[in-house]
Amino acid sequence: MSDKKISIDEGRDAIPDDDYEYEKQLAEQERAIEEQRRQRQEELLAEQKRKERQAQKEREQQIAREKLELLQLKNGVIGEEEASIKEEHHEKTKLTGAAWVSNFWYHNKFIIIAAVFLIAVVIFLVYSEVTRERPDLTIMMIADNDLAQRTEELEEFFEKYTDDVDGNGYVHVTVIAIPISPRIDSITLNANTSKFYSQVQAGDAMIVITDSNTSEEYMALMDPTLEERFPGNKYVDEQGFSFNSKIMAEELKYEYMPNDVYMSIRFPVKTMEYSKKEARELYDKSYVVYERIVNDITARCEQTDDPGLETEPLKIKTETDSSSEVS
C-alpha cells in the first residue's frame, strides 16, 4: 500500500492542482454511481427473491387447499357444488390465417428447415451438373517426359483441330497428365495407374499420348489398326501417330522432345459412364480430330522434308540389362 501511495503522490506532483482535483472529483462521482448501481441491483435481486418465495408459498397453500377439498369430496364431507375445484372444459379453438401458420411453424420448424436444406442441396447439385463446363475433347497424356509439364501447349495444339461440340461458341480441350513408366517411384506409379484406369472407366478420353516406355498392358487398350487406315504413312504404325518431327516439336514448344512420343487412340468399350454405343460415338468424334492431325502434320512434314528429332528417350534398365552388365 505504501508503494502505491508513493507512486500516486509522485504522479500527483506532475499534475497541476486544478486538474488533479477535477480528476479526483470525477473518480469519486464514478465510485458513488457504481455503488448506487450495485445497491440497486442488490435491492432488485432481493425483491425478486421475495416475490418468488411469496409465489411459491401461495402455490403450496393452493395445493394444500385443493388436496383438502379432494379428501372432503371423497369422504362426502362437502358436495361438488361447494368445492372450489371445478372440471374445466376448454373449447378447442380453430386457428386460421396467420395464427395457423404461426402454430404450424412452431410445431414443425425443424422438419421444415431440414426439408428446405435438402431441397436446396438437390437444386444446387442439379444446377452444377447441368451448367458444368464439359470439354469438347479430353486427352490423356501418359508418356513419361516433360510433355507432362506442357499441358497448356498440348491443349492449344488439339484445339486447332477440334470442333465446338457443345455449341457454346468456343473450343475447349482438356489434357490430363498421368505420366506412367517404370522409372517413376512406386507410390506415384500406383497413384497414376489408379487414376489412369479411373479415366478409362469414365470414358471421356479416347486419345492418349504414349511413348516407348508405355507397357503392353496399356497399349492393349489402344486401337492397333491405325496403320491399315493410313497406308503408306511412315508416321503411323501399330502404336499410333508418331510425334517424331521438328514440326511437332515446334507446335508443342518442346525443342528437345524425345523421338518416341506417339498419339494413340483407345478402343471403344462400355464403361461406367458410357454404353458400348455411346463409347463408339465418342470414339468416332475423337477419331475425326485424330485424322485431321495425322493428315495435316504428315503433309507439312513431307512438304518440308522434316528430318525428325534427334533426342533419344531415356532408356529404362531391365533385370536382363543389369545381369548382362554384371556378366
Mean pLDDT per 10-residue interval, the chain, length 327 residues:
45 60 82 87 85 84 75 64 55 67 78 85 70 79 91 94 86 92 88 90 89 90 91 93 95 93 91 86 93 96 94 66 44
- Three-class SS string for 247-263? HHHHHCCCCCCCCCCEE
pTM of the model as a whole: 0.58
* Confidence (pLDDT) at 296: 96
Is 140 in contact with 199 (CB distance < 8 Å)?
yes
- For 195, phi then psi, to 5°, come to -65, -40
* Confidence (pLDDT) at 267: 87
Q: CA 132, CA 264: separation in Å to the nearest integer?
A: 28
Asked whether the CA dihedral 82, 83, 88, 89 is positive or negative, the reply is negative
- For 221, phi then psi, to 5°, come to -85, -10
- DSSP 8-state symbol, 169: S
